[in-house]
Amino acid sequence: MEQLDEAVSEETPAYWVKSAEKTLAVLLAFSADEPRLTITRAAAKADLSRAAARRFLLTLTDLGYLRNDGSVFELTPRALDIGATFLSSLTLPQIAEPHLKQLAVDLDETASLCILDGTDVVYISRVLAPRMLRVSVNVGTRFPAWATSMGRVLVAGLPLASREAFFDGIEITQYTQHTVSSIAELREEVERTAERGWSLVSRELDDGLRGLAVPVRRGGDLIAALNVSLQTHRGPEATIAETILPRLQAAAERIADDFGGRGARQ
């Protein structure tokens, strides 16, 4: 063991605190797949002797980061304190970006995150599909909320009084032959969106634009809309709802969780 420690010391800086490394190794041994660990299992995952793992586990229990039930240990909510400062410093676009990147790769479609500002949607994060060669919409771009899937999701999430105020504050413009033709028709579309929890808008703002959007919720709060721009070959609405919608909803939930939604649901 002394020879091993000497070898390690030659490879690490003089300031290296081995006990800090081991402490983190024990904490990181706990995972979603194995939230409860015995001393033996924790020792194996942290690459420690059983005696050393026991000392670390008991110390972390005394400090409040773990609790034990007989021979089994598990994390406590206090373990969240370790990453809380980092998470609190992240903005929603920063948190969403890796999820948007994964979605863009998985679907080969551009993924975006939008918020509602007055009667417009504003792009706060956007990742182009791998096949895209140029950027036509950037972060900060605005579109009329009523003519987009993101906007209809966000308007559908408003309290009824605010929703009616939104309708009163807009004027329908016939951008294409597919654009909704009246406030009454728009109201029906928004109500439909509210009922089913997602929106698909095809060729209403531009003949080449088609989008699917779902809400991103933290607890009971609607914080943004997640959208993917779809190619026309993706098929009819029923096919999209069956194949693409679940993946979009899962991504929205992961974004919400990383932005504090997991704690809001507890």
2-18 pLDDT, tens digit each: 343 434 445 778 888 89
Q: What is the 3-state secondary structure (H, E, C) of 52-107?
A: HHHHHHHHHHHCCCEEEECCEEEECHHHHHHHHHHHHHCCHHHHHHHHHHHHHHHH
Q: For residues 74 and 124, state if they share a domain.
A: no
Q: For residues 72 and 102, state if they share a domain.
A: no
pLDDT at 243 over 90: no
- 255 contact partners, CB below 8 Å, separation of at least 6: 92, 95, 96, 99, 113, 216, 224, 226
The total number of structural domains in the chain stands at: 2
Task: Look up residue 60 and give its two tokens.
Answer: 């972390």
pTM of the model: 0.64
Instruction: Note down the domain range covering 32.
Output: 2-84
Q: Which of 39, 67, 84 is the last residue of a domain?
A: 84
pLDDT at site 4: 37
162-205 pLDDT, tens digit each: 999 999 989 888 888 888 889 999 999 999 999 999 998 888 88
pLDDT at site 179: 87
Helices and strands of the chain, counted as H and E runs: 12, 9
Q: For residues 233 and 177, state if they share a domain.
A: yes
The tokens 């009523």 sit on which residue? 146
Q: Which of 84, 107, 125 is the last residue of a domain?
A: 84
22-45 pLDDT, tens digit each: 999 999 999 878 899 999 999 999
- Residue with more model confidence, 207 or 152: 152
Q: For residues 77 and 98, state if they share a domain.
A: no
pLDDT at site 126: 87
Q: For residues 34 and 127, state if they share a domain.
A: no
As a whole number of angstroms, the distance between CA 223 and CA 255 comes to 10
Q: For residues 80 and 102, state if they share a domain.
A: no
Average pLDDT over residues 134-163: 85
Q: Which of 61, 84, 107 is the last residue of a domain?
A: 84
Q: For residues 75 and 207, state if they share a domain.
A: no
Q: For residues 117 and 222, state if they share a domain.
A: yes
Question: Starting from the edge strand earliest in sequence, which strands make up the sheet with 66-69, in order?
Answer: 36-38, 72-75, 66-69
Kindly report the CATH number assigned to the domain that includes residue 25. 1.10.10.10
Q: For residues 19 and 57, state if they share a domain.
A: yes
- 115 contact partners, CB below 8 Å, separation of at least 6: 121, 122, 124, 154, 223, 224, 225
Q: For residues 63 and 124, state if they share a domain.
A: no
Q: For residues 146 and 69, state if they share a domain.
A: no
Q: For residues 258 and 127, state if they share a domain.
A: yes
